[in-house]
Each structure stands twice: as C-alpha cells, then as structure tokens.
Structure 1
Amino acid sequence: MTDDSPASGAPIGRAARHAVRPGHLLDVSTGETLTDVALVVEGERIAGVVSASDLPSDLPVRDLPGHTVLPGLVDCHSHQIGEEDSGHGYTELLTRTGAQEAMSGVRNARATLEAGFTSVRDVGTYRAFVDVALRDAIDAGWTPGPRMMVAGAYVSCYGGGGDIAGLAPDAEHLVPAELRVGVVSTVDDVRRVVRRILYGGADLVKLIATGSVMSDNGDPGVPELTEEQIRAAVEEAALHGAHVAAHAHGAEGIKRAVRAGVHSIEHGSLMDDEGVAMMAESGTWLVADIYGGDYIAEIGRRDGWRADVLRKNDDTTQTQRAAFEKCLAAGVRIAYGTDSGIYPHEFAARQLAYHVRHGQSPLDAIRSATTRAAELMGWQERIGRLEPGWYADLVAVAGDPLADVRLLEDVRFVMKGGQVVRPLR
C-alpha cells in the first residue's frame, strides 16, 4: 500500500528525513496558494516548509508536479464500524457478530484513508467498543486507517435512536448486552454509563438527544433525553476531560442540548431561529451531514428502503440545509461531518461541494474539514495544517481546489504520518 520510491530513486522509510515537492501548496490558514515550496518530513511530523530551490541536493524528494497539496482531510461525524446502512432498521445487527462488525471497520477505515481523510471523529457504534479496538489496531500499525477519536457506544433512552428497537416484546431478551451498554432511564444511569464508556476507552461521549431518521422507530423531532440527563453527561464527561456530541434533529432537543453545555450538535435538521441564536452565543459547534439526504432519497428509493425512513429523510433534508445556511450567517462554528456509513466511506468528500452550494466559500469548506475540524476535536496543534511540528498528513489533487472543490472527491495522493498510503496516480 505504500510507495517508498521517490523521484530521486532513494528509498524513503517513515523514520527517514525526506521532502515532498508539489506544484502548489494550499496554506489553509492564510488561503494563499504557494509555489516553489516543499515540505520537509522527518518521521511522522513536518520538520519544515521551505523554498523548493533551497532543498539540499542529497535529500530524497518525492515530486508531485502539477498537483496541489493541502492538509489531510478530517471527518467529524463518521461511523467506521458496520456495514453500509440498508435502510431497514438496526435489528439487522442481530444477524452479524462482533467479529464481522470489526472486520467491516477494517475495510471502512482503509477506504476512508484512501479517500484522503487522515483523521476522523467516530461518533458511535451500536456494538460497544468495537471502535475502540479499531482505533487501537490502527495506532499499533496492524491495519491502515485514519487517526480516530471514538465514542465507544451511544447514550440513548430505551427504545430510542441508539437502542435496538422494533423487536417483538418476547424477543427483547435476545439483544446482546454489548448492544445496550449505553441505554439509560435516569440521570444516575447517565452518569454511570458515561463513566462506563470512558473507562472502556472512548475519547468522547455521544448522546442520542432526539429521534433518528434511520432507526426502527421514533420521530427526529421528538426529544429522547431530558435536559437534566444531558447536563449530567456533560458534567461527568468534563471530569474525564472529554467532550459531548449530541445527535439532535428536533428544535427542542437541540435547545436542551445547548443549554446543557454540549460541545457539538450533530445534524441540526429541524433547528429553529432561537436554536441558531443560542448556538451562536454559546459557541456550540454544528456538524451537519448535508449531503446524505440526497443519497438516501436516490439509493433508498432505488433499493426499496423502508417507507418511514424515506419519509423522515424527506422531512429533514431541506430543513437541515436551511438551518446550515442560517447558522453560517449567524456565525455558528461549523465543522465538517458526513455521517459516512449511511453511504460508502469513499464518498466522504462529496459533501464539500454541498458546503459551497449552501453558502461557504471553497476555502471555508476546506477549512471546515481541516483547521476547523481539528479545533472541534481539540487536535488543532497536531492536524489540520501543514506546519512544522504538525503530523505529515497531506493529500494532493490535480488542479486548484479553490477553483473546484470537487477535485477533493478524487485525491491523487495521500500521506499519513509521513508514510504514503496512496501513491501518486
């Protein structure tokens, strides 16, 4: 999967000092596109950004002529574990083992990385802690994949969007315990479950604050956790230095989550003007999957997805995009997140064009998936920029992504931590 044969012909290993010399380099901080520049890489990190004409003659160089290099992309709302959604609810999880879920994660992580996403915030899996295992396997070098920040399991009410619902009452006992680690009823349950998830190795907490589009039952507009429960999760997570992401479609659920102090609202599909103003004032992040509705409508109707899923998708797609535009106008902090897993992970860059279509400049869309995403994750001093000390995570495209952001749907080269994971093609 790696290519250690640079233009100079000398082999390049991960620990070696070498250089990458592109045709252009997009500085996402300033918005400038630079020429005659090279990145000096040492081990996993960028050691310097220098004039290409000043490179030492004995330094191995990997040339990317005619290509623009920019930081590796970041998806703040990814689901690396599991099969692509079938549109028939989540009782299908009972037909797969934990081992099968883990192996699907291996496949998805590879596809995500090769699509140019070198880091992800994975916001939950029904089968608890499989994402933790995948993160650790990637970090150990056992399997290729992006850097992962993981949620471990969903925190959800009984029968809610993070529970396995839709079974006959006399079949409830068949649901394995690992599929219900995060199911809660009381405030005390929330505190216990948050501790369980973080002690199990998760990096953040993911709440299902309202109903879901894709679940077996429930209404996206209906709150599923109380404000007291959400606040308990935020307080408990803070004790462990972790943030809370709230899946919230409905207006009331969004406002409960913002008042309770969550770090980010995921989806935000039915947000009202009051919710927009609250998010802008509080600094709460929005992570909105504004491409996914088109995919669900097209593929779901083609493949016969459940009628209630298609209806809920139709009810939330355009309202979500309107909310995105209002949040943008109000100065709400926006980070890139796709809900990949609903659709194939190799499509994760398709949403960038939707950010532009709904009000962002190409540069701001790219920043939402680089500097802004890194800031949301608290990783702003390690990823999201091409600067000395940051990880040598970068992608290259054939052309100018500021002129056509869709070029990022077809990255031609990917490096993660100084190692080529997708050679120039």
Structure 2
Amino acid sequence: MRKLGLVAAATLTLLGTTAYAKTTIVYAGRVITDASKPAQGPSTVTITDDRITSIAPGRTEAPAGAEIVDLGDKTLLPGLIDLHVHLTGDPGDDYRAAAVDPNEWGVVVGAKNAGITLRAGFTTVREAGSAQYTAYSLRRGTANGFIEGPRIVAAGPSLSIIGGHGDVTGFREDIHAVLDEGYTCTGAVECAEKVRKASRAGADVIKITATGGVLSQQARGLEGHFTSPELQSIADTAHSLGLKVMAHAHGAGGITSSAAAGIDSIEHGTFADDATLKVMKAKGTYLVPTLMAFEGIRERLGKGIYTPTVENKVRMTLGDVGKAVTRAKALGVPIAFGTDAGVFEHGRNGGEFALLVKYGLTPREALASATTVAATLLSMDKEIGRIAPGMSADMIAVTGDPLTDVTVLEKVDWVMARGRIAH
C-alpha cells in the first residue's frame, strides 16, 4: 500500500507540473530562425515555459489558456548575444571610485544596466570583468527572475600582471594593497593557481589582460604583459577545468602570444596584423572587436573625463580601430559580437552592428556574429542563437529587415528572455 501511495503521489506531482506549464503563442510577420537562412514569412512560434516547442507557417490557432503575443508585421529573430560587457560600471567613472565605492554598489549599478541591456535586445551577455562577487550576484538574480536582465556568463575579476592593465593602479602602494582583489600573478605556477581560484569562486570564463589597456592608469604602452609560459599555463589550466579564456589584447605581439597559447578569444585586437591573424586562424581563436568602445571613448576625449595618461593611449589607438575586422574577415578568422558596454552607455550595444558592416561584414554576417557565432564561442549553440524547437525562448522583434539593414537592431520593439517577456 505504501508503494502504491508513493506512485500516486508522484503521478499527481507530474500532473500538477503539466497542468501549470505556461504556453505562449507568438505571431510574427517575418521570422529569422537562423542568421544563415532566409527569413520565413508569417509564422506562429509556440513556447512552453522557457522553451521553444514549435514554429509553424501562418497563423495557427492558439490553445485554450495560452498567452498570445501578436507582433503584427514585425520581424522576429533570436535574442542577441554581447560577449563583452561590464554591467557593474558606467562610462566616465573616475578610477578613484575604486577606493570609495563598496563592491555592493556594483550590484546596484549592474541591476540597472541589466534591465537596460535586456530591453536593447541582448538576452545573453558575457560579463568581462567585475569585482569579486558582483557579476555572480547579478547572474543569479537574472536567472531566478528577481532582476530583469539577460543570461549572464560571468568572468569575475580579471587575471593580470602586477601593475598591468587589470591590476589596481594609480594609487599609493599602501592603497593598492587594500584594493587588491588577489588575481595578479607572476610565473606559470602562480597563474595556474589564480585560474583555479577564479574557478572556485564561480567564474564561467577566465578573463585575462594579456596586453596593456587604454583606460587604466599605467602608461607603458599596449603590448604584451604575460610571458608565453604564463599564457600557456592559463590556457591549459582553464581548459582542464572546462573553462574558456578571453584575453583583452591590443598589441600584435601580445595577441600572437595569446593565440599561440590556445586562448579562445581576443577582445579588442586593435593592432592585429596579417601575421597575427594567421596564427589566430590556425588556432581557431575568435576576434571580438568591441568597436563601440572606441566610439564611447572618442566622444569623451578632451572633456576632462580621462587623465592625460589615458588620453595619450586613446590617441595611439583611434587611427587603427576597425582595421583588424577587415583583415580578419579576409583571412577567415571568426568574428564574434562584443561591445565593451560600460565604456559607453549601456543600451547602445546595437550600434556595433553598423560598425561591423562599415569594416567589411555583410548584414547577415554581422547578425550571425551576435547569434550563432557568439553562441558557438560560448559552447551554448544548442541553447541560444537560433529559434528552433528545444532552444531557450530568447527572441526579439524589430521593425524592418536586419538582413538588409542592421541599423534596425538599434531599436528593439519586443524582447523575450528564457520565456519571460521584458517590460
């Protein structure tokens, strides 16, 4: 009798789960299921809870009790992916805020920016560097639906060399010691240790600053920081833990060393030349150009926002921005979408599409960079990046056709992330 009772209870539980499944029906005038395929005409997409369950031509009848979303003649397409954001910061923040604001403030700022980013059409983002637990808290908050925002793949603090880009710089040494997050490393053994520390803390991806950077207070150029043995140790350790590595890198030498070591993606890649890009191609390394970052920086030059150290470095880069994209396409290096939002205002992420097209991508390739290509880099191509049965219900709607005019992606009319409609 006890066994029968348990079976009955389990059956009721299953029935209860089925009874409370939520069905949403979305009608759209045009559907792009995959950036590599032609758009479909009027279609009906069915979502059960957080999963796409079917796509049918025309306007099929909705089942009783379903929520209906009628998008009229709008274009429905997969939710967009930005592989390089900093949700916990805003543009123009004074670097000295690191000594004033508590880490908890980053969660508050991040909650604001997560909502803005989602409503801009980005249903998945890769958080490319934050304080120890701020991005992890946001990741949990958006996953649970407590905070409106995208799916977050979070790096946490970046690994850097002592005194390099990513380390705390610009203060007295005693202040550095207090602000240090504990992720600088010297030598292959210590670098492996810091990768393991990041993994233990909850990192989804390892972020390193492989070269000097534009917005930090160290004035030693934009070339390589880590040694080749250190880079190899970082890549090997991360991969042994099932984690990929993203490397902030501007100078060609630092990019080449990073790619040769097996780093998975190069962020920015400003001065990548043909020789460097051939190494990236051979190793399967992705380029994430972050062209919008330089738009945001350009807008702030000469306004007293940046220190003279930073302004000098900015002027070193602006003449070369975008050239690596043109070269990368010609050489067959995969180009994935990332913006560095936080260097410019969150919500303007869609401006990256027009810049990618300006430097040589077709509109279809630009859209793929933020959907199928980005999903593949994240090893999430069975979850996001397409509209297909079984995929996460991450979709957006726009007015117009992004396969001919990518600027329509700068104004998104409707967003669904993990089956939840953004408001």
Aligned match of 2:30? 24
Displacement of 1:57 in angstroms is: 6.1
Instruction: After superposition, give the CA deviation of every residue in 1:222-250 in whole Å (9 maximum; x if it has no partner).
Output: 21111111111111111210011111111
Give the counterpart of 1:68 among 75, 86, 90: 75
The AA in structure 2 aligned to 1:44 is D
The AA in structure 2 aligned to 1:45 is R
Aligned match of 1:101? 106
Instruction: After superposition, give the CA deviation of every residue in 1:102-130 in whole Å (9 maximum; x if it has no partner).
Output: 111111111111111000111111x2221
Aligned match of 1:354? 355
Aligned match of 1:312? 313
1:27/1:162 Cα in 2 relative to 1: closer, same or farther (>3 Å)? Answer: same
1:280 aligns to what SS in structure 2? helix
Equivalent residues in 2 for 1:248-259 (5 A)? 248-259=249-260
Give the RMSD, CA atoms, in angstroms: 1.7
1:54 aligns to what SS in structure 2? coil
The AA in structure 2 aligned to 1:18 is T
Aligned match of 1:6? none
Identical columns (%)? 32
Displacement of 1:201 in angstroms is: 0.6
**Count of residues in correspondence between the two structures:** 404
Displacement of 1:319 in angstroms is: 1.6
Aligned match of 1:192? 193
The answer to whether 1:120 aligns with 2:141 is: no
Aligned match of 1:146? 150
Displacement of 1:139 in angstroms is: 1.4
Aligned match of 2:12? none
Displacement of 1:170 in angstroms is: 4.5
Moved more, 54-63 or 210-219: 54-63
Displacement of 1:311 in angstroms is: 2.7
Q: Distance in 2 between matches of 1:156 and 1:60?
A: 49
Q: Distance in 2 between matches of 1:14 and 1:280?
A: 49
**Preserved contact between residue 269 and residue 317 of structure 1 (Cα < 8 Å):** no
Displacement of 1:27 in angstroms is: 2.9
The answer to whether 1:82 aligns with 2:86 is: no
Q: Distance in 2 between matches of 1:60 and 1:376?
A: 34
**Preserved contact between residue 203 and residue 242 of structure 1 (Cα < 8 Å):** yes
1:343 aligns to what SS in structure 2? coil
2:160 aligns to what SS in structure 1? strand
Aligned match of 1:260? 261
The AA in structure 2 aligned to 1:235 is D
Equivalent residues in 2 for 1:105-184 (5 A)? 105-125=110-130, 127-173=131-177, 175-176=178-179, 179-184=180-185
Q: Distance in 2 between matches of 1:419 and 1:53?
A: 22
Q: Distance in 2 between matches of 1:14 and 1:57?
A: 14
**Preserved contact between residue 105 and residue 134 of structure 1 (Cα < 8 Å):** yes
Q: Distance in 2 between matches of 1:172 and 1:203?
A: 27
Displacement of 1:260 in angstroms is: 0.7
The AA in structure 2 aligned to 1:37 is S
Instruction: After superposition, give the CA deviation of every residue in 1:27-81 in whole Å (9 maximum; x if it has no partner).
Output: 3344312112111111001000112333346454310012111111000011112
Structure 1 runs, 4 residues or longer, greater than 6 Å off: none
**Preserved contact between residue 151 and residue 203 of structure 1 (Cα < 8 Å):** yes
Equivalent residues in 2 for 1:362-381 (5 A)? 362-381=363-382
Q: Distance in 1 between matches of 2:63 and 2:53?
A: 17
Q: Which runs of 5+ in 1 are unaligned?
A: 1-12
1:154 aligns to what SS in structure 2? coil
Q: Distance in 2 between matches of 1:130 and 1:307?
A: 30
**Preserved contact between residue 35 and residue 367 of structure 2 (Cα < 8 Å):** no
**Preserved contact between residue 353 and residue 406 of structure 1 (Cα < 8 Å):** yes
**Preserved contact between residue 28 and residue 363 of structure 1 (Cα < 8 Å):** no
Displacement of 1:343 in angstroms is: 1.0
Aligned match of 1:4? none
1:421/1:15 Cα in 2 relative to 1: closer, same or farther (>3 Å)? Answer: farther
**Preserved contact between residue 160 and residue 218 of structure 1 (Cα < 8 Å):** no
The AA in structure 2 aligned to 1:130 is T
Q: Which runs of 5+ in 2 are unaligned?
A: 1-18
Higher alpha-carbon Rg: 2
Q: Distance in 1 between matches of 2:407 and 2:36?
A: 21
Displacement of 1:308 in angstroms is: 2.8
1:382/1:24 Cα in 2 relative to 1: closer, same or farther (>3 Å)? Answer: same
The AA in structure 2 aligned to 1:409 is E
Displacement of 1:403 in angstroms is: 2.7
1:183 aligns to what SS in structure 2? coil
Aligned match of 1:7? none
Displacement of 1:185 in angstroms is: 1.8
Displacement of 1:419 in angstroms is: 1.4
Q: Distance in 1 between matches of 2:227 and 2:219?
A: 16
**Preserved contact between residue 35 and residue 371 of structure 2 (Cα < 8 Å):** no
Instruction: After superposition, give the CA deviation of every residue in 1:257-279 in whole Å (9 maximum; x if it has no partner).
Output: 01111001111111122101111
2:397 aligns to what SS in structure 1? strand
